[in-house]
Amino acid sequence: MQIKTEHITVKKPIAYRAAQTISAVTLPFIDPLASYLVGQPILLKGKAKNLLATPLPHINSVCLNYKNISELLIKGIESGALLTKDVQLIINGFDDKTIANEVIHNINVKIRNHAIADKINIITQNCADIYDEVHSLGYQTDTLNIADIVYEESILMIEFSEALSVYIYEDQNLPYDIQLCICAVAHYFGLLCGASPADHFAHYSEDFEIINEVNRSHSKALLAIEDTLSDREYINEFKRVMPTDKFDEYVDILESYYSYSLEEEEHHYDIAQMIKESLNTLRFVNQTHFNSDNYYQIKNSNKLLSRINRIIKRYENTTFYALITKISTLFNIAHNYRNIYATKFDFDFAGDVSCLSYFQVITFRSIENDFMWKAFSDSENQIMEMGDYVQIITDLNDLSFLSALKNHQLGWLLGHCLNQSLSEYQNNV
């Protein structure tokens, strides 16, 4: 069908046009047969079929951030922080697993570090002898990052890159006495760098403290209560096991703090859950890993060294011997380089931070559970809400500061070497 159109121009005065009703232009009706195709099967052939069957190429975060990365690489070359070969290595390292934010962060660090190279050299040389020793043993440290060095308003600071640093030791598939010995060694390294054992991150409450005050026999009976009991039965069993005075204290907490009543059946579920949560905390912190007998002060390294030697003799003709020997070698490095007096030095922090122990945690695969991760998550969220990130103010002219920093570098580095040895063992089991 052809539609003949004719363009006609008719001049009218402006006043006439202004007085007319606004109307839309009407187009002729055209039906391209689309309505007849709705719901009909479509058969694709040839190129169309191949095109739709071909998966789209993967676009990773580097592609999406190419502009920022390119500008940073140019800035790095112009500032002298990067050589052409450095840029080529960075580009050659891009693959599907590359995370753009990490690339951007690392380039920024290189640029900043170049501007304060002389100060960084002092910090690096502070523990160069330790790095040389672990490198001679075959440990790889190129990808390790203790912290970032920040230079703001003429103040040089060492800044943790994470709100909460969690060091997880791969100690599974090992005999229990070896696990406990590894735990003692890891805690010793943690003392050097200011990291805390996992039980320090369990968030206690007043209702838990009441349960925690009962003696060992009562604790053992409490932890034996079956989770499969009904809420009412669970509460009754809890009442039977708890000493009367402590149970009365617990009920007072329920009523005064939480407005729960044992007489109200609708409260039984919440009360049972509270008790279970407290007992989960008790179960976690009562593990042998956290017993005081499994901790050694910095000055008591000889005692821990003797314990390691006893373990070596016990497993001399087993597959565990090589691993324990490596652990002994690492601990001897700590024994030779640690500074007992530097442990009394207090770092100066920016902001409201007062210690390192709340920002670093040591834990082990052998005791890993949901409660532990919830405790870490709660701690990390609290740190982020408070906005308290670790920034250690440096004084590179103070020998006491450098000694304390060396202890931190020593503990942190040996902790990672220990986990490298454990991971290698687990991969070969």
pLDDT value at 18 more than 90: no
Residue 405 has pLDDT above 70, yes or no: yes
Residue 37 has pLDDT above 70, yes or no: no
The pLDDT value recorded for residue 47 is 73
Average pLDDT, the chain: 85
Say if residue 31's pLDDT is above 80. Answer: no
Query: How many Å apart are CA 353 and CA 346, to the nearest integer?
Result: 12
The per-residue pLDDT for range 96-119, each reduced to its tens digit, is 777 888 888 888 888 887 888 888
- Phi first, then psi: give them for residue 199, nearest 5 degrees: -65, -20
Q: How sure is the predictor about 306, in pLDDT bands with cuts at 50, 70 and 90?
A: very high
**CB under 8 Å, gap of 24 or more: what pairs does 271-276 form?**
271/231, 271/235, 272/231, 272/234, 272/235, 274/207, 275/234, 275/235, 275/238, 276/227, 276/234
Distance, CA of 40 to chain centre? 54
Q: Is pLDDT of 402 > 90?
A: yes
Least-confidence region, from 1-15, 18-32, 383-397: 1-15
Percent of the chain at pLDDT exceeding 90? 46
User: What is the structure's pLDDT at 81?
Assistant: 87
How far from 341 is each of 129, 138, 185, 312, 406, CA to CA, in Å?
Answer: 20, 30, 20, 30, 12
Tell me, what's the pLDDT at 326? 95
Cα dihedral 366, 133, 146, 414 in deg (nearest 10): 20
Say yes or no to pLDDT of 27 above 70.
Answer: no
Q: Which residue has the higher pLDDT, 100 or 315?
A: 315
Strand order across the 360-364 sheet? 165-169, 360-364, 196-197
Does position 11 have pLDDT exceeding 60, yes or no? no
Asked whether residue 305 carries a pLDDT value surpassing 80, the answer given is yes
- Paired with 384 in beta bridges are none
> Which residue did the predictor score with more confidence, 387 or 135?
135
According to the per-residue pLDDT averaged within each range, which of 340-344, 385-389, 407-411 is highest?
407-411
Whole-angstrom distance, CA of residue 312 vs CA of residue 318? 10
- Give Cα 42 to chain centroid, integer Å: 51
Higher pLDDT, 4 or 305: 305
What is the mean predicted confidence (pLDDT) over 45-53?
A: 70
Confidence of residue 7 (pLDDT cuts 50, 70, 90): very low
Lowest-confidence segment of 55-64, 319-328, 385-394, 409-418 by average pLDDT? 55-64
What is the pLDDT, as a whole number, of residue 59?
A: 60
Give a three-class secondary structure readout of 96-151: CCCCHHHHHHHHHHHHHHHHCHHHHHHHHHCCHHHHHHHHHCCCCCCCCCCCEEEE
Mean pLDDT of 405-415: 93
pLDDT per residue as tens digits for the range 223-274: 999 989 999 999 999 999 999 999 999 999 999 988 999 999 999 999 999 9
Number of helices and strands (H, E) in the chain?
18, 7
Q: Please tell me the distance from the alpha carbon of residue 83 to that of residue 362, in angstroms, as a whole number.
A: 38
The pLDDT of 365-373, averaged and rounded, is: 89
Q: What is the pLDDT of residue 66?
A: 75
Asked whether the beta carbons of 426 and 170 are under 8 A apart, the reply is: yes
pLDDT score recorded for residue 34? 58
Average pLDDT of span 179-199: 94
What distance in Å separates the CA atoms of residue 23 and residue 25, rounded to the nearest whole number? 7
Which of the residue ranges 179-188, 189-198, 343-352 would you say has the lowest mean pLDDT? 343-352
**What is the CB neighbour count within 10 angstroms for residue 105?**
14
**19: pLDDT strictly greater than 70:** no
State the pLDDT at residue 38: 63
Q: Is the dihedral of CA 129, 130, 134, 140 positive or negative?
A: negative
DSSP code, position 293: G
* CA pair distance 126, 135, nearest whole angstrom: 16
